[in-house]
Chains A and B, each alone.
Chain A
């Protein structure tokens, strides 16, 4: 039976969506290989606190064909610098053709992050001759394979041990041999700051070395990150910074939840007061709509394009609730007309849906056009982008719920005796032409 299949499909969707929506402990989904942490709504910085940074890359000295590569390189290096372990929720991405946007959720010290991101991190090796004259060598940061922070067993001070790339081991060995024999010194500079300046007691043939002279362990760790991430391919400039404190963020969440709940309740109350039983159906559809939306927000975390929910995004979602209700209102008003003109509730329902469809389609497409333009011209602003995405998803989901969920539930209701009275929908107030349609 057609109605039964529709109902089963909808119930299946609801079931899946609820399973996704339930907040769960960490282990539940790991059995089937889903990383649970990604199955939660990503919160924007205005909701959880943190910093958004926008950097302009300086491509004036880069040839046209290398520009894209240079920006990609900048992203790569910054990613390694701010997120060396790859575990935090830091997002580094292009914005426009030559800008790089970084979002650092929950960060405490923005200025330290800014300092770390902006470092040129150019590592250079010098041979200092006995007369004190430093001579550049052909070894640079590019020859470095890995660097790790350590504590020197004897002095208790932080040091960095490093390993040369295998193809550079020979180069390093011949340099140290030369310095050792001439009685000179080895000087290693990071962005013109000396990291090592001393004699070499013996030739280093295994490509391993040590640097010291750090202020504290934190300084050594930051330097390690810089060494491992490499140098920025082009200079960058901080052009925009937005920081929100964690307390302000959690206050925003709390307030939006309260406001959203009050707004939603008001709508449900109004719909039921005005459309009676049909209002109940619309409210149920609205709840399902909200659940589906939430599930999409969560699932998007598994894709390369996670939806980040911001305060404006919540507003977009709220606005789409209005549109979700609109589709229902359009249908019910049509149905009312048909019933008043003498149709039975069933035919009224069918015709109501058919007639309302062009309105729903055309009006929603115009909103989607606006969303698309907002997204494309989002002013490099992730908040505006988030608003456009949530509004667009809301509009699409609302079309689905209004057309399938509301209709199926209405059809189901009309199969029962008690729900087949136009009075239950306030549909019969003007004339008595509409007769009770028996199922």
Chain B
């Protein structure tokens, strides 16, 4: 099987999958939950007629009311009441109005504006620092890699594959947000960071094999990368399969409150497996070829040629 040889096909598949979500991301962005905007969220059980419940909440003159279903006979009511007086009094009034209609509150969250600002800042910062830390770690772990590639190229290509996965998850949630009102919360950021960790985890196993084979064989780089991918193929698929099995069980039977967290993980881990095999390792070859082309002009030697 020649995976590296058909790398253009894999890159195109990746682009096709990523583009709709990315467009959605640019046009509509993500739908931020109360963790990022501040506001209040009530989960209720009982009467689950969305428009009725909405009307009850609207009596309290709060803004940005959304009512979405949350599993069996549950509704999620979100609203913002910033600058509208005592938020606890508003909550109590809504709760009392709902109780009069036999609707019971099962969960309640309230996030203030300063906290939501902190969460947003930390979320962006943590994703950035995680990427940076991982590039550095890979560069360090692969510092003794034999030529042709520098250890930094491993780190950078691994992060490009990670970006692919993150973009896909963000894109899917942007579409879900626009068409189904699915909001993202701090748990979503957790999912993104986990996907980053897992994607790199997967890529490192392939890269580790490339490093090892570079020491053992003197083959054209492209062939060597392809062999390394094939040698780790069963492992990549089997590992992802076991993780996906467990996540799928949680997605189907694990309760509503983490459903979208699990969905983000599922998409990200599926994508992470694909990108490790079909993007990350072929990218190393692309990078190497580009370097050879450039150095031929400069007349540098000492690089292994690759098959055309």
Contact = CB atoms under 8 A, between A and B. Distances in A.
A242 B205 contact: no
Interface string B120-152: 001101100110011001100100000000000
B201 interface: yes
How many chain B residues sit at the interface, stated as a range, is: 35 or more
A91 interface: no
B114 A330 contact: no
B43 A248 contact: yes
Contacts of B118: 96, 379-380
B239 A329 contact: yes
Nearest to A330: B235
Given A329-B238, A379-B123, A248 B197 contact: no
User: For chain B, what secondary structure do more than half of its interface residues adopt (helix, strand, loop), or is it mixed?
Assistant: helix
B235 A241 contact: no
Given A54-B115, A240-B110, A379 B245 contact: no
Contact of B246 (A46, A318, A358, A387): A318
Interface residues of A, number: 71
B239 A326 contact: yes
A321 interface: yes
Contacts of A239: 111-112, 114-115
Given A255-B255, A264-B246, A315-B250, A370 B114 contact: no
B246 A373 contact: no
A373 B190 CA distance: 10
Interface stretch (A35-43, A66-74, A193-201, A361-369): A361-369
B109 A242 contact: yes
A364 B208 CA distance: 13
Nearest to A333: B235
B161 to A, nearest CB: 13
Given A322-B239, A367-B201, A379-B119, A256 B250 contact: yes
B157 to A, nearest CB: 14
A326 B190 CA distance: 21
Interface in B193-234: 193-194, 196-198, 200-202, 204-205, 208-209, 212, 231-232, 234
Contacts of B241: 270
B302 interface: no
A359 B254 CA distance: 31
B195 to A, nearest CB: 9
Contacts of A355: 212
B186 interface: yes
User: For chain A, what secondary structure do more than half of its interface residues adopt (helix, strand, loop), or is it mixed?
Assistant: helix
A252 B205 CA distance: 35
Contacts of A271: 242
B290 interface: no
Contact of B243 (A244, A251, A319): A319
B249 A266 contact: yes
Interface in A323-381: 323, 325-326, 329-330, 333, 337, 355, 358-359, 362-367, 369-371, 373-374, 376-381
B62 interface: no
Interface in A373-395: 373-374, 376-381, 383-384, 387-388, 391
Contacts of A311: 255, 257-258
A408 interface: no
A367 B197 contact: yes
A239 B105 CA distance: 20
Nearest to A46: B257
Contact of B245 (A242, A244, A266): A266
B252 interface: yes
Contacts of B196: 370
Contacts, number: 213
Interface in B96-114: 104-112, 114
A272 to B, nearest CB: 12
B265 interface: yes
A243 B109 contact: yes
A243 B108 contact: yes
B137 A369 contact: yes
Nearest to A360: B205
A151 interface: no
A396 to B, nearest CB: 14
A315 B261 contact: yes
Given A244-B106, A369-B137, A260 B249 contact: yes
B35 interface: yes
A402 B197 CA distance: 20
Interface string B248-266: 1110111101100110010
Contacts of A333: 232, 234-235, 238
A240 B246 contact: no
Contacts of A391: 194
B134 A369 contact: yes
B64 interface: no
A263 B138 CA distance: 31
A366 B190 contact: no
B271 to A, nearest CB: 15
A235 interface: no
A111 B246 contact: no
Interface string A243-266: 111011001100110111011101
Contacts of A262: 249, 253
A114 interface: yes
Contact of B253 (A248, A259, A380): A259
Interface in B162-215: 186-187, 189-190, 193-194, 196-198, 200-202, 204-205, 208-209, 212
B126 A377 contact: yes
Contacts of A318: 246-247, 250
A264 B243 CA distance: 10
Given A329-B239, A374-B126, A380-B118, A359 B208 contact: yes
A29 interface: no
B115 A364 contact: no
16 contacts: A46-B257, A56-B114, A241-B109, A242-B107, A266-B249, A267-B246, A318-B246, A325-B239, A333-B238, A363-B201, A366-B137, A366-B201, A369-B137, A373-B129, A374-B126, A383-B187
Closest 4 CB pairs of A and B: A322-B243, A370-B197, A263-B246, A263-B249
Interface of B: 35, 43, 88, 92, 104-112, 114-115, 118-119, 122-123, 125-126, 129-130, 133-134, 137-138, 141, 186-187, 189-190, 193-194, 196-198, 200-202, 204-205, 208-209, 212, 231-232, 234-235, 238-239, 241-243, 245-250, 252-255, 257-258, 261-262, 265
Given A255-B254, A377-B125, 20 more contacts: A54-B115, A56-B115, A240-B115, A245-B105, A255-B253, A256-B255, A267-B246, A271-B242, A315-B261, A318-B247, A322-B242, A359-B209, A366-B197, A366-B201, A367-B201, A373-B130, A374-B193, A377-B122, A379-B123, A384-B187
